[in-house]
Amino acid sequence: MMKVLPGLTLDPYYLNQDQVDFFNENGYLVVERLFSEEECDAISKIVRKQADENFSAILNPDRVIDEIRSVMKAPKIVSILETLTGSTVVGLMSQFLFKEAGSPYASQAWKPHQDNSYPRTPNGEYVTINLALQDQDVENGCLFIYPGSHEEGLFAFEPTKSYRENPDNNPGNTVDHTILQRFEDVRTDLIIKKGGALFMQGNCIHGSYPNVSDRSRPLLSISYIPKGTYYVPGENANRMEISLDL
């Protein structure tokens, strides 16, 4: 039997129509306080036991840690995703980024990119949630996003190594600066409190800042697609359909 994260609430979460409309128009939605402080601390405590000396990103922790798989399957996440997509969804992959203060990866910042440039679903059906396990702001490396950029499909990009890359290099399949200029006036910093979750459509351009603070910015990222949607598995990501039945 799968171990469930201690204290994980198993109730669904019901979006209102304004939230659905915001997601459709902007390509993202932040749901504040979706997870409690206790749930966030439990996730961080469990995954930190797997950290290496550099606090490198961990790919697919759900495949070795039952408690993280239970977070992937949490009804409050799944219910939101199925409302936003209008479909039955499956999990695809997960990643934990420590952004540990003082570590080699603290100063690393993701270049503006589209998550869907990796799995390449036909219409941006790939949806990623980023769960803030501590407060996120510009100083400690929060994300920034280009609202509405999801409406034009996948843009051309410069392929960039994005897993276990050199800490001195910034990852992300980089969108050309001429495209970014078109959305620069709507670029938004995503200041998210601990327990907040960012739901992001796969074609929405985003990036992140370096962590120049003495505070870490741990983040659990989990990606989903509507069941049966085409995707590229990837050599490192090893994406695969994962049932969300508890």
231 Cβ neighbours under 8 A, 6+ residues apart: 92, 119, 120, 121, 126, 225, 239
At 192 the pLDDT is 98
| pLDDT tens, N- to C-terminus, the chain (246 residues) | 899 999 999 999 999 999 999 999 999 999 999 999 999 999 999 999 999 999 999 999 999 999 999 999 999 999 999 999 999 999 999 999 999 999 999 999 999 999 999 999 999 999 999 999 999 999 999 999 999 999 999 999 999 988 777 788 899 999 999 999 999 999 999 999 999 999 999 999 999 999 999 999 999 999 999 999 999 999 999 999 999 998
At 161 the pLDDT is 86
Q: Which residue in 189, 238, 187 sits closest to 209, CA to CA?
A: 189
At residue 144, what are phi and psi to the nearest 5 degrees?
-125, 155
At 168 the pLDDT is 82
Residue 94: enclosing H or E segment and its boundaries? Answer: strand 89-97
pTM over 0.85: yes
Contact 35, 68 (CB under 8 A): no
Report CA dihedral (38, 237, 28, 173) to the nearest 10 degrees: 130
At 164 the pLDDT is 74
DSSP class of residue 110? P
* Length of the chain (residues): 246
Q: Are strands 174-175 and 157-158 parallel, antiparallel or unpaired?
A: antiparallel
DSSP class of residue 189? E
Residue 210: enclosing H or E segment and its boundaries? Answer: none
Other Cβ atoms closer than 10 A to 24:
13
The stretches of 98-226 forming alpha helices (DSSP H) are 177-183
At 162 the pLDDT is 84
C-alpha 218/C-alpha 101 separation (Å) is: 10
Contact 190, 204 (CB under 8 A): no
At 172 the pLDDT is 93
Cα 209 from chain centroid?
A: 15
Look up residue 141 and give its two tokens: 């490396």
Cα 19 from chain centroid?
A: 18
Written as one letter, the residue type at 115 is: D
